[in-house]
Amino acid sequence: MEKYDHKYGAEQIQVLEGLDPVRKRPGMYIGSTSVRGLHHLVYEIVDNGVDEALAGYCTEINVVIEKGNVIKVTDNGRGIPVEIHPKTKLSTLETVYTVLHAGGKFGGDSGYKVSGGLHGVGASVVNALSDWTEVTVKRDGGIYKMRFEKGKTVEQIKKIGETNETGTEVRFLADGTIFETTEYNYETLETRFREIAFLTKGLRITIEDQRGEEIKKADFCFEGGLISFVEFLNKNKEKINAKPIYIEKDGEVPVEIAIQYTTSYSENIYTFVNNINTVEGGTHLEGFKRSLTKVFNDYARNHNILKEKDGNLQGEDIREGITAVVSVKVKEPQFEGQTKTKLGNSEVTGVVMSMVNDALSSFLEENPNVAKAILEKCISASRAREAARKARELVRRKSALESTTLPGKLADCSSKVAEECEVYIVEGDSAGGSAKQGRDRRFQAILPLWGKMLNVEKARADKIYGNDKLNPVIIAIGAGIGADFDITKIRYGKVIIMADADVDGAHIRTLLLTFFFRYMRPLIENGNVFLAQPPLYKLSKKGIDDVYCYTDEDLENAYKELEEKGIPRDQLAIQRYKGLGEMNPEQLWETTMNPESRILIKVTMDDAIKADEIFTVLMGDEVEPRREFIEGNAKFVKNLDV
Ligand code: 28F
C-alpha cells in the first residue's frame, strides 16, 4: 500500500473546505447573527479601506446603503491586485475574497492593520455570509470585476473597461437566511464611521442612506483627529482647558492621546486598539491612569501646589471631569473580557506609562496655566471626596442607626424577597396617596417624592448624600451609591418611576434617570429600572366598561373598535388625564400598577455615550445646547401642556 506522505498545511485544508465553516457557525466569525453581526460585515469591508488609508494610499471611503439593504463601499486606494498568482492560479483579489484570513492581516506586512470588531476576520467572511458580493477594481489602467455568491466564485475576473483612476468598490447583500435581520441601522453606522474618522486623522468617510424617501447622509473628515474627537465629546460641556492636550509617540506601539477637562464631574476615557473601541479597557488604560496620577501629583508637589502635609491626589480626583481618548496600535493584540474588548498585552502598560510620563510632564511644564487650572479642579475634587466620605460615613452611621426605620415617606411591602418586590417612586403626595391605597402591599412599596429634585449633573457626590430628596431613594433601595453601590443589596427587583405625562413628570423622570445613570449605573445595566405608563385618556359610556388609552394611536384604535360595535365616537365621553392625581386608587391600580394589565417600560442602557450626551445636554451648564436639543426634539413631545 503506497504511503501518502503529503501533509496538508492549514492553508490547503482551508482552501479545500472553502468558506463552509463560516456559513455553518457565523457567530464564531462575526460574534452574532443579530443586527450587530450584520453591521460587522460593513465594518470589515470599511476596515480594509482604512488599512489602505493607513498604508498611505487612500484618502476617501464612501459607504452607501442602497435600496433593499445592499451595501456599497468604495475607496480611492491602489485597488486590490488582480494579477493571477503563479502558484495558486488565483488573483490576489479572488484569494482575499475566498480564502479565510487572506486579507493580509496575517501577511505580516509592515503597516498596522486595523481589524474589525471581531479582530479582522477579513473580506472572505463577508463574502461567505452574503447572497452575493461584487468587487470592482480600478488599477493598472483597467476596470476589473468579479462576482461571488455565498463565498463561491460565480464570475471569473474580467476586464470591463479602461480608466486612469485607482480604487476598490465592493457591493454585497447580506444573506437573509443567516442574519436575524438585514435591515441596517443608519445611526449606528454613522456613529461608527464618525469614530473611525476621528481615529484616522484626515481620512474622509461619507455615508448615504438611499432606502427611504428622504436621503440621510453624513460626511466626516477631521484633520484634528483625536483633538476633534474630545472636542466633539465635550461640545455641550464647559471646558477647563480650551485647547485639548495632545500627545503622541510613534514606535513599536504607536500611542496617540487627547485630553480635555470640563467642569462636569463625570470621567469619560475612551480607549481604542487598532480602532477597536476597547469598552472594557485593559493595559493601555491602566498605563494611562497610572501615569496621569503620577504626573499630576509630581507637578503639584514640584510647584508647591500640594503642600508637604497634603496627602497625594487620588486617581479619581484627577480623573473627575476628564474627557480623554487613548488610541494605540498593536501588531498582535490579545483581547480578553466578556465581550473581547479588554486589551491583555502586558507590554503595553509600560509603553503607555513611559510615553505619558515624558510627554504629559513636558506639556505641563510648558503650559503652567493649564496645569494650574486642571490641578485646581483636582484639589477641589479631592476636598469634595473627603467631604463625601465624611457624609457617607454619616449616612452609613445614620442609616446603620436607623437601618430598621426606612424613610418616613416609604410605605414598604410585606414581602422581603427582593426579586418579587417593587418600589414605585411616585411624584407628588396626592398620587402617592392613591398609590398607597391602590397597591398590592404584599410586593409593592410606595415612595412618594415631591417637587423638583436636585439636578445631579451639577451637584457633587457630597451634595448627593446629604440631599433630603435623594436620600430616601438611596436608603429605600438600600444598596449605597457610586463606588459603594452593591447591586446584590437592592431591596426591590423593580424600581418603577411613576410620574405625570407632563413637563414636570418628564423633568422628574430625567433627573431620576440622571441620578441612577451617574450613581447607580448597574441598576440600569441590570435592567431593574422601569417607567410606569399611566393612561392618557379614558373613554366612557353608560352601560360599557371604561376604556383606557395609553397613546394617541391607542385612542384611535379604541374609537374604531367601538364604532365596529355600533358605538359612534360622539356617544363616548373622553377624559384626558393631566396627572396621576386624577385617578382614584382603583383606577390607578387597574391601569398602571396591576401586573396583569399595566404597561412598564424597561430602561436599558444601550449606548452610554448617547445617554451621557443627552443627560449632559439636558442637565449640563450650557444653556444653548439644551435649547437646541429641546427644540430639535419638541416634535416628538406630544403631551406638552401648552
Ligand atoms: C471597499 C473596500 O478593500 N480596499 C483595499 C487594497 C489594496 C491592496 C490590497 C486591498 C493581500 C494581503 C495585501 C494594492 N496594491 N476597500 C478595500 N485596498 N488589498 S483591500 O492588497 C491585498 C494584499 O494583503 C494593495 C499593493 N499592495 C496592496
Q: Can you give the pLDDT at residue 637?
A: 47
| Residue of minimum CA distance from atom 3 in ligand 1 | 48
In the chain, ranges of CATH 3.30.565.10 domains: 20-220
Mean pLDDT, range 501-523, rounded to an integer: 81
Higher pLDDT, 610 or 326: 326
The answer to whether 524 touches 515, Cβ cutoff 8 Å, is no
- Distances from the Cα of 573 to the Cαs of 549, 559, 567, in angstroms? 13, 11, 11
Taking the CA of residue 45 as reference, the ligand 1 atom at the shortest distance is: 2
If pLDDT is split at 50, 70 and 90, which confidence band does 641 have?
very low
Mutate to test the pocket of ligand 1, among 78, 126, 137, 200 (most ligand atoms within 8 A of CB): 78
Give the CATH class of 20-220. Answer: alpha beta
- Looking at residue 67, the DSSP 8-state letter turns out to be G
Cell of 78: 491602489
Higher pLDDT, 384 or 273: 273
The answer to whether 90 touches 84, Cβ cutoff 8 Å, is yes
> Can you say how many angstroms the Cα of residue 331 is from the centroid of all Cα atoms in its chain?
26
Taking the CA of residue 61 as reference, the ligand 1 atom at the shortest distance is: 1
Which residues does 128 contact at the CB level (< 8 Å), separation at least 6? 19, 22, 23, 150, 151
Mean pLDDT, range 501-519, rounded to an integer: 79
Mean pLDDT, range 373-400, rounded to an integer: 79
The answer to whether 582 touches 510, Cβ cutoff 8 Å, is no
Q: Measured in angstroms, how far is the CA atom of residue 40 from the centroid of ligand 1?
A: 19
| For the chain, percent of residues with pLDDT exceeding 90 | 63
Higher pLDDT, 256 or 582: 256
User: What rounded mean pLDDT belongs to the chain?
Assistant: 86
Mutate to test the pocket of ligand 1, among 76, 114, 133, 168 (most ligand atoms within 8 A of CB): 168
User: pLDDT by residue (tens digit) across 449-467?
Assistant: 865 555 655 566 556 655 6
| pLDDT > 90? residue 392 | no
Q: Can you give the pLDDT at residue 89?
A: 85
Q: Can you give the pLDDT at residue 7?
A: 58
Q: Could you tell me what percentage of the chain is helix, strand and coil, using 3-state DSSP and rounding each to the nearest 5?
A: 40, 20, 40
Protein fold of 226-385 = Ribosomal Protein S5; domain 2 (3.30.230)
Q: Measured in angstroms, how far is the CA atom of residue 146 from the centroid of ligand 1?
A: 15
Q: How far is residue 173's CA from residue 264's CA, in Å, rounded to a whole number?
A: 44
- Looking at residue 281, the DSSP 8-state letter turns out to be -
Q: Can you give the pLDDT at residue 481?
A: 83
Q: Where are the beta strands (DSSP E) in 359-435?
A: 422-427
Cell of 603: 430602561
SS3 283: helix
If pLDDT is split at 50, 70 and 90, which confidence band does 475 have?
confident
The answer to whether 590 touches 426, Cβ cutoff 8 Å, is no
pTM for this entry: 0.68
CB-ligand 1 contact for 107 (6 Å cutoff): yes
Q: Can you give the pLDDT at residue 396?
A: 63
β-strand pairing of 494-498 with 529-532 = parallel
- Distances from the Cα of 10 to the Cαs of 7, 98, 126, 208, 479, in angstroms? 9, 15, 21, 40, 53
In the chain, ranges of CATH 3.30.230.10 domains: 226-385
Cell of 629: 436639543
- Looking at residue 279, the DSSP 8-state letter turns out to be T
Mean pLDDT check: name the lowest of 471-485, 604-618, 626-640.
626-640
Q: Can you give the pLDDT at residue 110?
A: 42
| pLDDT > 80? residue 218 | yes
* Phi and psi torsions of 606, nearest 5°: -85, -30
Q: How far is residue 606's CA from residue 614's CA, in Å, rounded to a whole number?
A: 13
The answer to whether 130 touches 69, Cβ cutoff 8 Å, is no
Q: Can you give the pLDDT at residue 304?
A: 94
User: pLDDT by residue (tens digit) across 140-195?
Assistant: 999 999 999 999 999 999 999 999 999 999 999 999 999 999 999 999 999 999 99
Enumerate the β-bridge partners of residue 411. 446
CATH 3.30.70.120 for the 402-534+601-636 domain, yes or no: no
Cell of 6: 503529503
| For the chain, percent of residues with pLDDT exceeding 70 | 83
User: pLDDT by residue (tens digit) across 52-72?
Assistant: 998 999 999 999 999 999 999
The answer to whether 464 touches 470, Cβ cutoff 8 Å, is yes
| Residue of minimum CA distance from atom 6 in ligand 1 | 80
Q: Can you give the pLDDT at residue 632?
A: 60
Host H or E run for residue 409 = none
Q: Can you give the pLDDT at residue 112?
A: 57
* Phi and psi torsions of 260, nearest 5°: -145, 125
In the chain, ranges of CATH 3.40.50.670 domains: 402-534+601-636
